[in-house]
Amino acid sequence: MKSYREEIWFNCKKRIDFICITEQVGEILKKSEIKEGLCLVNSMHISSSVFINDNESGLHKDFEKWLEKLAPYEPISQYRHNDTGEDNADSHLKRTIMGREVVVAITKGELDFGLWEEIFYGEFDGLRKKRVLVKIIGE
Ligand code: ZN
């Protein structure tokens, strides 16, 4: 069995952002030369997510609004985590809802997606450098 590892780095200009990374993951898969196997993509941070959904801007606004209702950023004092001096309790909660990782099947050297599926990096505490791990195993 072969394995291949690479990281994708981000520095989001906004606190909350959704970035489509399907193309980058596809390029990493080509470099790996693996034709049949599994591709894991996970956030290396506890305040950002990797998830699969539609690449449609209205839906991304809906995600943002929905997450802000579930875990509003302010007032910062509503969260015990922020008693530590941090202000990102909401980011940890948003990340938990949107998930840590995705696994995509690899078939004939391609990411084997369902209709309209795209991979996204979800940032919930941006304005600094962060990374995603891509780990591919197979033949
Ligand atoms: Zn924190």
Tokens of 90: 């909401």
How far, in Å, from the CA of 72 to the mean position of ligand 1? 15
- Rounded to the nearest angstrom, the distance between the alpha carbon of 39 and the centre of ligand 1 is 28
Residue type, 99: G
User: If you measure from the C-alpha of residue 88 to the centroid of ligand 1, how many angstroms do you get, rounded to a whole number?
Assistant: 5
The enclosing domain of 55 has a CATH number of: 2.60.120.460
Tens digits of residue pLDDT in 86-136: 999 999 999 999 999 999 999 999 999 999 999 999 999 999 999 999 999
Q: What is the mean pLDDT of residues 3-19?
A: 97
Task: Tell me the CB-side half-sphere exposure of residue 1, using CA atoms within 13 A.
Answer: 7
| Domain span at 65 | 2-138
Q: What is the pLDDT of residues 50-68, one digit of tens each?
A: 999 999 999 999 999 999 9
Is this model's pTM higher than 0.85 or not? yes
Supply the DSSP string of 74-89, one letter for each residue.
--GGG-GGGGGT-S-H
Structural domains counted in the chain: 1
pLDDT in tens, 88-102: 999 999 999 999 999
Backbone angles phi, psi at 82, to 5 degrees: -75, -10
